[in-house]
Copies of this chain bind each other. A is one copy, B any other.
Amino acid sequence: MVTTIDGAEYPALDPYREGCPTRRVLDRVGDRWTVLIVGALGGGPRRFSELLRRVEGISQKMLTQTLRGLERDGLVSRAAHLEVPVRVEYELTEAGHSLLEPLRALENWAIEHYTGIARSRTDYDTRTA
């Protein structure tokens, strides 16, 4: 099963097509906070407050929200320990773990290229100023 655009054929399972389920998956994964949270969970289970401190700049609301989304997607598991005070730990599931590798690749790419990108940005800005 293929589709044709501009004379070229594309597979049916195609993130470039709007309705494709992989698009929704990419939307989540491409999310700004998801990348960082999954990465932060890479080292093992983390408490809510740990994540809040670790992922700088995230608000409590967005952390909760993103964690819920990840839980819903089956990428993160949530374990509430009913002590006083409450302790909640989040952990990557197996699927979540498998996401770690492509994400790390992206992270490494960012680290390798950020100087070049920064330079290119200032160049571009002075050139078009």
CB-contacts of A78-100 with B (<8 A): 95, 98-99
Is there a chain B Cβ closer than 8 Å to A63's Cβ? no
Tell me the smallest distance from the CB of A38 to a CB of chain B, in Å.
11
Cross-interface CB contact of A54 among B13, B16, B108, B124, cutoff 8 Å:
B16
Asked if B36 and A117 make an inter-chain contact with CB atoms under 8 angstroms apart, the answer reads: no
Known contacts A16-B36, A30-B31, A74-B120; decide if A102 and B95 are in contact (CB<8 Å).
no
Q: List 19 A-B contacts (CB under 8 A).
A: A15-B107, A15-B110, A16-B55, A17-B56, A22-B111, A24-B114, A25-B110, A25-B117, A26-B35, A26-B36, A29-B109, A30-B32, A30-B106, A72-B121, A74-B116, A95-B116, A98-B113, A102-B102, A102-B109
